[in-house]
């Protein structure tokens, strides 16, 4: 299995604080990888470093074999890296349709190679048909679950080969978490790889092919969900 994403020895700072300490991970083709850890462990910093929203001090990030360490975020998006942030990043005064159009504009060339804009739209709405009924609603008037759906749908309009999802399950009712799990499985079936930052290990373990656990900015475990759940040291760290 080829690597869609390779993160090699990345060190990242926020202002003067050294957050990531030599973080390395990989995501393969058609693979769901979860990065699990407590709040403040470094998950969001890892995702933002990969997306280019935070500059890395040292180390390398490769996407589909290309070194993108110094590329700005919008160029990573144009190459097929989709991103749904923890706070969803929905523009409150824009309609859902207008929020989605941002990715449509960024991905015109990729959409042409994916069967055209209509085909891309059909794939997105096959995962989240609920979003089609929300297109006229302002971002301000969406529920938490709806905002997360729109954020992921917006990322999918890039026709990505990789989706970065930061806390996709956070704050959702159990029945909605189940709905999102189904969506992740559908996205994987479309050939899209996923890297998910998640605080709740059982939720991550239910869909992940592999897991990385992070604590204090360092990767402390890499392996299968089953092995993570059986590892007392990992479980103790994640529980705090």
Strand-pair category, 193-198 with 162-166: parallel
Tokens of residue 177, six digits? 């978490």
Query: 3-state class of 153 per DSSP?
Result: helix
Q: Give the pLDDT means over successive 10-residue stretches in the chain (240 positions).
A: 92 97 97 95 97 97 97 94 94 95 74 69 92 95 94 93 93 86 93 94 90 97 94 87
Among 196, 201, 191, residue whose Cα is nearest residue 180: 196
Helix (H) / strand (E) containing 96: helix 96-106
pTM: 0.93
Tokens of residue 216, six digits? 């204090």
* Predicted local confidence at residue 1, as pLDDT: 64
Per-residue b or e along 99-119, where b marks 16 or more CB atoms closer than 10 Å to that residue's CB? bbebbbebbeebbeebeeeee
């Amino acid at each position: 299995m080829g690597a869609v994403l390779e993160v090699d020895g990345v060190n990242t700072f926020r202002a003067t604080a050294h957050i990531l300490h030599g973080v390395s991970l990989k995501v393969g083709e058609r693979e769901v990888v979860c990065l699990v850890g407590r709040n403040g462990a470094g998950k969001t910093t890892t995702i933002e470093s990969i997306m280019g929203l935070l500059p890395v001090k040292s180390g390398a990030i490769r996407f589909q074999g290309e070194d993108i360490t110094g590329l700005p975020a919008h160029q990573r998006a144009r190459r097929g890296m989709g991103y749904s942030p923890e706070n969803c990043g929905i523009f409150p005064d824009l309609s859902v349709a207008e929020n989605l159009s941002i990715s449509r504009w960024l991905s015109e060339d990729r959409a042409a190679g994916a069967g055209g804009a209509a085909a891309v739209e059909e794939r997105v709405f096959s995962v989240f048909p609920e979003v089609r009924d929300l297109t006229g609603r302002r971002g301000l008037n969406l529920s938490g679950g709806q905002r997360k759906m729109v954020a992921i749908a917006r990322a999918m309009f890039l026709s990505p080969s990789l989706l970065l999802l930061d806390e996709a399950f956070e704050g959702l009712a159990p029945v909605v978490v189940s709905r999102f799990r189904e969506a992740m499985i559908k996205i994987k079936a479309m050939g899209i790889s996923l890297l998910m930052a998640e605080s709740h290990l059982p939720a991550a373990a239910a869909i992940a092919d592999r897991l990385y656990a992070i604590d204090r900015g360092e990767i402390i475990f890499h392996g299968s969900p089953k092995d993570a759940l059986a590892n007392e040291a990992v479980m103790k760290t994640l529980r705090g």
